[in-house]
Amino acid sequence: MTRMTKLMAATAALLTLGAGAAMADTVKVGLVGEMSGPFAVFGEQFKGGVEAFQAINGTEAGGKTVEVIIKDVGGPNPDVAKRLAQELVVRDKVDILTGFGFTPNAAAVAPIATEAKVPMVIMNAAAGGLTGASDYMVRVSFSLPTVVPPMAQWLVDNGYEKAYVIVGDYRPGHDTEAAFLEAFPKAGGEVVGNVRTPLMTVDFAPYMQKIKDAKPDAIFAFVNAGDVMAGLMKAYREKGLEEAGIKLVGTGDITFEPSMPAVGDAADGVVTSYPYSMEHPSELNKEFVKAFREAAGSDAMPSIMAVGGYDAMAVIYAALEKTGGDTDGTALVDAMKGMEWESPRGPISIDPETRDIVQNIYLRKVENVGDHYGNVEFETFEPAK
């Protein structure tokens, strides 16, 4: 036994002891999120989503009170995420781990979930195949490669046959690029060029100039949501690509709701594909947006991350109901497998094999919806199986 596994075993033993001794009326959920620093918007979204869920559904499930303990991981810091998860499991004796904006953080915590037999519900981390890292991992966000094919199909169907690909130069960007390079020719289009941009790209004008000179019909873009996508939009407008007949499309990251007020009409008409839009026309979504704004501020804009927070709580509550309040990790994960429910994004379920989410992908167009610009859904792609 290495020191690490001993530690893990001790952790697991402690947890069992704790659970046995306490068997209390409280279920503790430990949330590891990006509460401060450059990615504080992630944490704000998670927290708002969790609070919105609890405002709508109360704080009790399976006869127990659900208490959420939030820890700040500050950004993509796998070591910190691991330490926080350990503290949550050992010291705070949480029954369930959740949160995780970044794939590396989730991957670092996966062994802890496995050893301590604590379910781990992923609110955002989007790399393909992530849930293979632990049998206790369940994901309620999405994986980027699944978002791409509907967009590629739409481009070809609407006569945009030559596309230029621009992605952020990091793992999710590479995944998205590969998905598009595969899906677009398959749909009948031609990729005329592609470029990877540094994560902290400040000025997109040179890239936009280069794309303009290549004269494609459309740009397919994926850059990390937040400030970088605004830079992309600014440069797209400034360089007059729309006037040159080059359509901007991409994943929903480039029309990330919380950043839309800052981008304003520059995003008008941009078409993207994504699992959630704040404008999704359902009663539940209206209720969700209202509750989110009561929690996070009257002008806050919920995104897929906030819905991830909501659905993580939804699957935890439903699992607790199913086990009758039993917090045994294996029983909870088994309860989550195959679960179906209605989310603010639409109907979703958990694949019993992969423990990954199964959901619709929507095509959306940015339009003025009254007091702001929003992603208005116009076509639904149901999951393959």
Q: Residues interacting with other proteins, by CB under 8 A? A: 36-41, 44, 169, 195-198, 200-203, 205-207, 209-210, 226-228, 230-231, 234, 238-240, 258-259, 261-264, 297
Other Cβ atoms closer than 10 A to 257: 25
227 vs 351, beta carbon nearer other proteins: 227
Contact 100, 81 (CB under 8 A): yes
205 vs 284, beta carbon nearer other proteins: 205
Give the residue from 353, 332, 339, 335 showing the smallest Cα distance to 116: 332
Q: Which residues contact 286 (CB under 8 A, 6 or more apart)?
A: none
Closest separation in Å from C-beta 225 to other proteins: 10
Closest separation in Å from C-beta 144 to other proteins: 20
| Gyration radius of the chain over CA positions | 21
83 vs 210, beta carbon nearer other proteins: 210
50 vs 363, beta carbon nearer other proteins: 50
196 vs 365, beta carbon nearer other proteins: 196
Closest separation in Å from C-beta 312 to other proteins: 20
Angstrom distance (rounded) from CA 306 to CA 249: 23
Q: In what order do the strands lie in the sheet with 26-33?
A: 60-61, 64-72, 26-33, 96-99, 120-122, 137-139
Closest separation in Å from C-beta 173 to other proteins: 11
Closest separation in Å from C-beta 301 to other proteins: 8
DSSP state of 204: -
131 vs 277, beta carbon nearer other proteins: 277
Residues paired with residue 375 on neighbouring β-strands, in sequence order = 366
Contact 124, 116 (CB under 8 A): no
147 vs 230, beta carbon nearer other proteins: 230
Angstrom distance (rounded) from CA 195 to CA 199: 12
- 123-137 in b/e form (b: 16+ CB < 10 A) is bbbbbbebbebbbbb
Closest separation in Å from C-beta 210 to other proteins: 5
Closest separation in Å from C-beta 235 to other proteins: 9
